[in-house]
């Protein structure tokens, strides 16, 4: 690797990898482990060689990426950072080499999808799910009031904080975000057609038909995520998003009509009202986030739940968080359970033994 201090034009000969020291812009980052990996980008845990603090480092290939998203991700986070809202990771450094772009940001814990799948019933307790629904709704409201749509609302794009911040849910990944308010605060007119973006299983019905998305569509995706957190996998979770995207759309439409009771039968009654409120929104309309949040609070009160109870991942001595750190993305759990057992074996040899945990998707 060729590197130099204090220069923004440093040439790095290789892509980032575990064990590498990245020297750039006068900083040295030691890449400790891979947190997430894709065909064009990766997320690592990185150590600041000077302060010994741990951070997340997102990288993206400079050439060959079909749809570069890191620049947009950084832009949105910096705009948010100027307002200092709760629940969004802070950016500490960013740079570009000949081969890749990178951003160093606050390191957070496991995402909601991994945490859910780490639990025995593959779903959160009712009070944890409802409190998470309320927090994620608040994050979406903050983003919308900054004039941005997410267009990729899903459980993997929300993660808990670390340590004392484990009760805070952070919103991540704004690579598909789109500005919907102009500089004067006016709503941008919709385009005649728009590409299907985000993750099909959570995508709003409008996206299936190639229509421009608005705030209501982010909330529709949020609602699917909430149902998943409350009761487990969505009815269409096992359908192939490439070959069966039309069938997924039909499932979502059925959930409004003949299948509504079946879709919501294990959710609090108030979620029927929430879905009606979201579906009634017009394209340009600002959702009444407080009214939706009040429905969640109403459910908590009606069922006499303890809104101050610890979250599910805070009552097991850290075992659920540890398990979630190894569970990996959907479909990879059978591979990563081996890594968990290896880690626990190492801890056992060091005199810190925990009983083995099984992982399944």
- In the block, tokens 């269409």 appear at 236
Name the residue among 166, 162, 242, 236 with its Cα closest to residue 202: 236
Strands 91-96 and 54-61: unpaired
Which one of 73, 111, 152, 217 is the catalytic residue?
152
> In DSSP terms, which residues pair with 22 in a beta bridge?
29
* Four-CA torsion 249, 159, 27, 64, nearest 10 degrees: -10
Nearest-angstrom CA–CA distance, 11 and 238: 44
Q: Is 152 a catalytic residue?
A: yes
DSSP symbols for 2-61: ---TT-TT----S---TT-EEEETTEEEEEEEEEEE-SSEEEEEEEETTT--EEEEEEEE
> In DSSP terms, which residues pair with 148 in a beta bridge?
179
DSSP symbols for 161-185: -SGGGTTPEEE---TT-EE-B-TTS
Catalytic residues: 152
């Amino acid at each position: 690797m060729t590197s130099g201090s204090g220069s923004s034009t440093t040439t790095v000969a290789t892509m980032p990898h575990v064990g590498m020291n990245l020297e750039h812009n006068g900083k040295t980052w030691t890449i400790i482990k891979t947190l997430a990996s894709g065909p064009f980008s990766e997320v690592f845990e990185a150590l600041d060689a000077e302060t010994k603090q741990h951070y997340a480092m997102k990288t993206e290939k400079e050439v060959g990426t079909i749809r570069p998203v890191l620049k947009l991700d950084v832009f949105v986070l910096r705009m948010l950072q100027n307002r200092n809202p709760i629940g969004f990771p802070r950016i500490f450094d960013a740079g570009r080499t000949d081969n890749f772009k990178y951003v160093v940001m606050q390191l957070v814990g496991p995402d909601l999808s991994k945490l859910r799948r780490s639990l025995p019933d593959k779903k959160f307790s009712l009070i944890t799910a409802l409190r998470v629904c309320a927090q994620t709704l608040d994050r979406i409201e903050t983003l919308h009031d900054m004039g941005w749509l997410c267009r990729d609302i899903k459980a993997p794009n929300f993660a808990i904080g670390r340590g004392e911040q484990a009760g805070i849910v952070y919103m991540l990944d704004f690579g598909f975000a789109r500005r919907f308010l102009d500089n004067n605060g006016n709503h941008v007119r919709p385009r005649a057609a728009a590409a299907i973006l985000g993750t099909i299983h959570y995508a709003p019905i409008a996206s299936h038909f190639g229509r421009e998305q608005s705030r209501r569509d982010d909330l529709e995706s949020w609602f699917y995520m909430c149902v998943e957190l409350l009761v487990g996998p969505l009815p269409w979770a096992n359908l192939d998003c490439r070959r069966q995207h039309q069938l997924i759309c039909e499932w979502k439409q059925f959930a409004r009509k003949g299948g509504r009771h079946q879709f919501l039968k294990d959710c609090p009654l108030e979620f029927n009202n929430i879905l009606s409120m979201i579906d009634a929104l017009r394209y340009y309309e600002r959702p009444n986030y407080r009214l939706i949040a009040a429905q969640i609070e109403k459910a908590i009160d009606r069922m006499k739940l303890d809104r101050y109870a610890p979250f599910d991942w805070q009552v097991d001595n850290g075992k659920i968080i540890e398990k979630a750190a190894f569970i990996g993305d959907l479909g990879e759990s059978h591979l990563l359970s081996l890594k968990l057992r290896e880690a626990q074996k190492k801890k056992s040899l060091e005199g810190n033994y925990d009983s083995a945990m099984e992982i399944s998707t």
